[in-house]
Structure 1
Amino acid sequence: MLVLALLAGVPPAAGCGGSNAGATGAPALLRDQAQQAVMAYAAAVGQAGDRLDASLLPKAEADPQLTMDTAAVKLRRIVKARTGTLKLSHVRVAVPRQSAYPRWFAAEGVSGSGKDALRHAMLFTQAKAGAPWLLSADPFPTDTAFSRVALDHDGYAEAVAPSASGLAIAPDRLAAAHAALLNGGPRAAGADRLAPGPKTTEAFTALRHAEAGLRRNGITLESRFSPAPAPVHALRTRDGGALVWYVLKQNEAYSATKKGKLTVTGDLVGLAPPSSVSTRMDTTVLIQYLATVPAHGGAGVTGMYRKAVAASGH
């Protein structure tokens, strides 16, 4: 699913103040305003999705979502797959108390229904006073991790500093630990800070199996993960832990001894002309993650949105 956003600026609450992490002042915007922002986002999805026009996205999104959805529009234009209207249900917001910019808030919602239901963990940011609220990230969690966010007596959340102590791992170290695990496996340095699961240890095993399968078909794949240059955001959970949004970059290099082995298919469609690929193809992938970090133990990675954003052939 292509997730787009188009939000007009929502005026901040009067008298905003306090620090960013653990602030006690007024929030960046009221909860009702955040709900309105989410609804405006959902209502505006159809315009870009129906037109399949990536030029609309800079007014709707900020990176990494902007780069990822721009690539998604390119693919959908080629396969002629329009997205239609995004209808969100069960929407709830978590607005931290902040003063400095950029400001942000998070929101959960569900699109679709039944077996097609998809849970969203949306992150909206505002770069400066009067600027629009833009969708910056939207990993898709497979559980109800968002429900664990702690709210104060007024219903507002607490932002956790990226370098916060008192957690199993500081939020700003999660990306490096996750990259180390995907590159070197569960025994890599720092990998033990992440709990085993489909998006951590099982993902490492699946990638190694995929590489072995490609080799049997005459194709070599070299893959390297690293933290992406994207801000880390975290909210306090009721157990004293944190819910964390972070991003990895994956660089892939495919090579084949014979022409015709490599083709531009799947997520890579629209990123490189098929005729440009002969015996080598290099790709860049962005992966958004949502993790629940406890005070002790391994961080559980519950959400992910992966998208190839660049490809070139030789």
Structure 2
Amino acid sequence: MAVFWLATRAPSGSSLAANPTPDPSDTGWGKASASPSPTPSPSRPTPETTPKPTGKGTDKSPRPEATPAKKPRIETRTTPPPADPPAAVSRSPQLTAKEAYGIHGRYQRGLSVAQARKDQAAMAKLEHGLALEMTRAAFKTAEMQKTSLATGIWPNPQVWIPRHVEGAADWFVAVSHEPGVARIVDVMSSAPGGWRLVASAADTRATPARFPKIATDGEGYATSLPESATGLIATPRQIARAHLASLENAEIDPRFDDGPWTSEATLFWQQERVRLEQADWRLTLSYRLEGPVRALRTSDGGALVWYGARSTELREAVREGAKVKLKGSAAVRTRNKAFARSVSATYGRMYVTHVPPAGSNEPARVLGEWSDVLESHGD
């Protein structure tokens, strides 16, 4: 979520600040005339037993309900590891577990080096699509704020590899869980130039939500499902669209369980809209599905679904008076200015959601998110 500061003007011309309101993005309200040092949204929480970030980083552990602006990256060293060349596409029609672990390990090491150097060009060999755009945007924000990015490797990942499908790109999932820090779910996909990260999501709560068991066959391979797969409470694509629609409309969808990326997010937007209206501003939200929807069969007959989106939050003044000031990464992009007429922020967002099988009484559960501000503007 974007965070912003709002000041309303009292009849006498003095500033009247609204009360602080917590939300899934660790937001607050205050006077637009105030000049707090903008702090980027919490991004890479660090366990107490690991070294602190080098350089000027100001990262901190988010509150349990916080939404990570970038998937957390655990720190295991103060200097980045040597980079490995990107892995080539497997010559075998069926990716092996050994190959998958090697591909993901090389990705993590390459990312750690790229983060330490804020190397925009290097990311093109590591990530693709919206994921690449989000990471490059995070690098730009850090450069503007003159902060360093934490580096390191997530320990002990587990991989699940779908069977090869003729004519389709191979892909696999890597899940890492550092107790008390975060659970990270990465999706790697083959491409003409090598393997790339195409999706990711994190749950940084002290106790992450229960993660479903991925179904495997006798040889340990998972089963990929198409966007239109039936046998679920809704197809993977329908679930993705329904989730984004609930956020865009700020309306709770009963098909989804309560949580920071469903009910809490919609409640935040409802409250945000009311406060803006009281200050003679209006809020317009847009959440658009971007990229493919990927899914794996789970042992309960349901599916794990990965999807990305591009969201835009537009705030416009109905009449002259109050000013709005963004906070967090969006504030860095607008150089911490307050705006009298309009201000917008666009984010890249990625989610992983468990969809129950058809006939189940259980709701769909959103199990993690990765978000980064792509751009913000105002006048």
TM-score, normalization by structure 1: 0.83
* From 362, 366, 369, the counterpart of 1:304: 369
Aligned residues between the structures: 292
Larger RCO: Structure 1 or Structure 2 (Cα < 8 Å, ≥ 6 residues apart)?
2
Give, in whole Å, the separation in 2 of the partners of 1:193 and 1:167.
12
2:247/2:287 contact within 8 Å kept: no
Bigger CA drift: 219-228 or 91-100?
219-228
Aligned position for 1:20: none
> C-alpha offsets along residues 184-235 of structure 1, whole Å, 9 cap, x if unaligned?
3557xxx34323333212211121112333444x362423233322110000
Aligned position for 2:285: 224
SS of corresponding position for 1:262 = strand
SS of corresponding position for 1:196 = coil
Instruction: Rate the CA distance shift 1:6–1:118 in 2: closer, same or farther, 3 A.
Output: farther
| Percent identical residues | 26
- Confirm whether residue 32 of structure 1 aligns to residue 98 of structure 2: yes
Instruction: Rate the CA distance shift 1:209–1:186 in 2: closer, same or farther, 3 A.
Output: closer
Unaligned runs of 5+ in 1: 17-26
Query: Aligned partner of 1:34: which letter?
Result: A
RMSD of aligned residue pairs (Cα, Å)? 2.6
Query: Aligned partner of 1:238: which letter?
Result: S
Q: Map 1:103-182 to 2 at 5 A.
A: 103-110=170-177, 114=180, 117-128=181-192, 131-141=193-203, 142-145=208-211, 148-182=213-247
Give, in whole Å, the separation in 2 of the partners of 1:168 and 1:200.
17
Cα deviation for residue 55 of structure 1 reads 2.8
> C-alpha offsets along residues 8-41 of structure 1, whole Å, 9 cap, x if unaligned?
1244152x1xxxxxxxxxx3x2111111111112
Instruction: Rate the CA distance shift 1:266–1:302 in 2: closer, same or farther, 3 A.
Output: same
1:231/1:246 contact within 8 Å kept: yes
> C-alpha offsets along residues 58-82 of structure 1, whole Å, 9 cap, x if unaligned?
2221122111111111111122322
Cα deviation for residue 288 of structure 1 reads 0.9
Q: Map 1:84-103 to 2 at 5 A.
A: 84-98=150-164, 99-103=166-170
Query: Which protein has the bigger helix share?
Result: 1
- Confirm whether residue 236 of structure 1 aligns to residue 314 of structure 2: no
Unaligned runs of 5+ in 2: 1-42, 44-69, 74-82
- Confirm whether residue 45 of structure 1 aligns to residue 107 of structure 2: no
Give, in whole Å, the separation in 1 of the partners of 2:161 and 2:129.
20
1:123/1:135 contact within 8 Å kept: yes
Bigger Rg, which one? 2
Give, in whole Å, the separation in 2 of the partners of 1:185 and 1:243.
24
Cα deviation for residue 132 of structure 1 reads 1.4
Aligned position for 1:313: 378
TM-score, normalization by structure 2: 0.70
Cα deviation for residue 150 of structure 1 reads 0.9
Query: Aligned partner of 2:243: which letter?
Result: H
- Confirm whether residue 200 of structure 1 aligns to residue 262 of structure 2: yes
Aligned position for 1:66: 132
